[in-house]
Amino acid sequence: MLRRNEVAAGIKDYILRHHLKPGDLLPTEAELCEAVGASRSSVREAVKTLSALDIVEVRHGHGTYVGRMSLAALVESLAFRGLLSSEDDHLVLGEVVDVRQNIEQGFAPQVAQGLDTDQLARLRTLAAGMAEAAERGDDYLELDKQFHLLLMEPLGNDLIQQLTGAFWEVQSIVTPTLGSEHQGALTLTASLHMAIVEAAEARDAAALRTAVAAHYDPIRELIASVRRPSTA
Amino acid sequence: MLRRNEVAAGIKDYILRHHLKPGDLLPTEAELCEAVGASRSSVREAVKTLSALDIVEVRHGHGTYVGRMSLAALVESLAFRGLLSSEDDHLVLGEVVDVRQNIEQGFAPQVAQGLDTDQLARLRTLAAGMAEAAERGDDYLELDKQFHLLLMEPLGNDLIQQLTGAFWEVQSIVTPTLGSEHQGALTLTASLHMAIVEAAEARDAAALRTAVAAHYDPIRELIASVRRPSTA
């Protein structure tokens, strides 16, 4: 285990020393073995570990590349933790909702000021699309995700974009264990997104904070409704 | 690759169906092969992937256990991304600082209300320890980490604790690439932590928000000082 981590550290060191960037090709396995002073099987093992973390990306038949270091690993472990806790109290889902709300509220001033006309128009289109889907009785997961990513776009902070996407993924994986949402909840949530758009259009940071908070009420109520009283 | 992910999904499914919790022992490799309908080598590969994500934990000589699903994988990939970007503009470090500040400011009202007498006393002790270390010319990474974890403790949100720890780790790995901090900066940062304690003791959420923001000024200035103008 230690050995595998050492070889992985050697490969990361190689990437740093050679100033490689995400998407750059790594040397062949044979060259990598020589560079880090390890056997072929150790290097292969280490590459698998780094691949699970998206630090490298193995494209079969092409070679190994520096990865995008996305938060995919975060999504996978957090979503699974969420599913594990879904059978008792949905603790993890509640925590994810708290963090999402806190981040979106905290950046409300920059968002209210920073959204340009095009972004505002796209937010409105997405919220309108949600209302239409709800009217047909369909859910609108993808529109919802696009909405929240777009809302944070003015910040120009890639980590925020990735966290927003990651937490949204976790929530969308775990929420179905709460039972299916009925049409009334879908319609309500769509209208709460439109209220966010209206606050943003008015460039009103305080109203945006309030609208963001209100928009998390239905999911909080859903969590509370299935949470059984503790028997401790 | 697909195959490996399918077997990993099978193992996760096994954990869910058998209501296993972090720390619980998984069946033997042979039993796991039968349960998920895969070969020994596929199961071994999948276990390695899940182990990199801390979804399972392999204790050599003892067996494989359900992991703690920590954010260790997030730290590893984000810290490495931070190191990669350290040679140009420290973009990732700047993003991490923004997110940390946003989270701590956002929860200021709950923190100011929620800290109990014991927690306040421990915060004061930590800030005093930082000042003493600075006087000796020593840094105080561990005290700083404990301080920020303790500050978020009243929220009772494990995800926040883990994110706080993870972002702090990333920052502490990447910051040394900015060059060593001189004693003046250490003394200043220690006193800015004491200002946070005083705002918390006064249960003043607005003052706490201000003190938290001010405490990130030195690191922001350090980043700005090494950031070279873009040549694009």
- The model's confidence at residue A167, banded by pLDDT at 50, 70 and 90, is confident
**Does the pLDDT of residue B222 top 80, yes or no?**
yes
- The model's confidence at residue B232, banded by pLDDT at 50, 70 and 90, is very low
- The model's confidence at residue B1, banded by pLDDT at 50, 70 and 90, is very low
The confidence score (pLDDT) of residue B195 equals 98
- Measure in Å the smallest separation between the Cα of A162 and chain B Cα atoms: 11
**Does the pLDDT of residue B212 top 90, yes or no?**
yes
CB contact under 8 A, A78 and B71: yes
The confidence score (pLDDT) of residue A180 equals 66
Q: Is the ipTM of this complex over 0.90?
A: no
CB contact under 8 A, A99 and B160: yes
pLDDT digits (tens, 9 = 90+) for A177-232: 777 667 888 999 999 999 999 999 999 999 999 999 999 998 898 888 876 554 44
Please compute the mean of the pLDDT values over residues A98-125 and round it to a whole number: 96
- The model's confidence at residue B25, banded by pLDDT at 50, 70 and 90, is very high
B187, B96, B211: which is closest to B135 by C-alpha?
Answer: B187
**Does the pLDDT of residue B104 top 60, yes or no?**
yes
Pairwise pLDDT comparison (B106 vs B54), residue with the higher score: B106
Chain A residues with CB-CB distance to B155 below 8 A: 98
Angle between helical axes of B117-136 and B141-152 (0-180°, round to 10)? 160
Domains of chain B: 2-66 (1.10.10.10), 72-226 (1.20.120.530)
CB contact under 8 A, B49 and A52: yes
Q: With pLDDT > 70 as the criterion, what percentage of chain B qualifies?
A: 93
- The model's confidence at residue B229, banded by pLDDT at 50, 70 and 90, is low
Please compute the mean of the pLDDT values over residues B65-83 and round it to a whole number: 80
**Does the pLDDT of residue A144 top 70, yes or no?**
yes
CB contact under 8 A, B84 and A16: yes
pLDDT digits (tens, 9 = 90+) for B146-189: 999 999 999 999 889 888 988 888 888 888 877 766 788 889 99
What is chain B written as a DSSP string?
-HHHHHHHHHHHHHHHHTT--TTPBPPPHHHHHHHHT--HHHHHHHHHHHHHTTSEEEETTTEEEE----SHHHHHHHHHHHHHHTTTT-HHHHHHHHHHHHHHHHTHHHHHHH--HHHHHHHHHHHHHHHHHHHHT---HHHHHHHHHHHHGGG--HHHHHHHHHHHHHHHHHGGGG-PPPHHHHHHHHHHHHHHHHHHHTT-HHHHHHHHHHHTHHHHHHHHHHPPPP--
Chain A residues with CB-CB distance to B22 below 8 A: 84
- Residue of chain B minimizing CA distance to A16: B84
- Residue of chain A minimizing CA distance to B85: A21
pLDDT digits (tens, 9 = 90+) for B55-66: 899 998 899 999
- Measure in Å the smallest separation between the Cα of B184 and chain A Cα atoms: 30
The confidence score (pLDDT) of residue B89 equals 66
Q: Backbone phi, then psi, for B192, in 5-degree steps? A: -70, -30
The confidence score (pLDDT) of residue B4 equals 63
CB contact under 8 A, B52 and A53: yes
The confidence score (pLDDT) of residue A231 equals 47
Chain B residues with CB-CB distance to A163 below 8 A: 99
Q: Please tell me which of the candidates A78, A106, A159 has its beta carbon nearest to residue B96.
A: A159
The confidence score (pLDDT) of residue B22 equals 85
The confidence score (pLDDT) of residue B230 equals 47
**Does the pLDDT of residue A58 top 60, yes or no?**
yes
**Does the pLDDT of residue B9 top 60, yes or no?**
yes
The confidence score (pLDDT) of residue A232 equals 43
Q: How confident is the prediction for chain B on average, in pLDDT?
A: 88
Q: How many CB atoms lie within 10 A of CB A56?
A: 23
**Does the pLDDT of residue A172 top 90, yes or no?**
no
Chain A residues with CB-CB distance to B49 below 8 A: 48, 52
The confidence score (pLDDT) of residue A230 equals 47
Chain A residues with CB-CB distance to B76 below 8 A: 53, 55
Which residues, 6+ apart, have CB-to-CB distance to A199 below 8 Å?
Answer: A112, A207, A208, A210, A211
The confidence score (pLDDT) of residue A139 equals 87
- Measure in Å the smallest separation between the Cα of A211 and chain B Cα atoms: 16
Chain A residues with CB-CB distance to B47 below 8 A: none
- Measure in Å the smallest separation between the Cα of B119 and chain A Cα atoms: 22
- Measure in Å the smallest separation between the Cα of A163 and chain B Cα atoms: 10
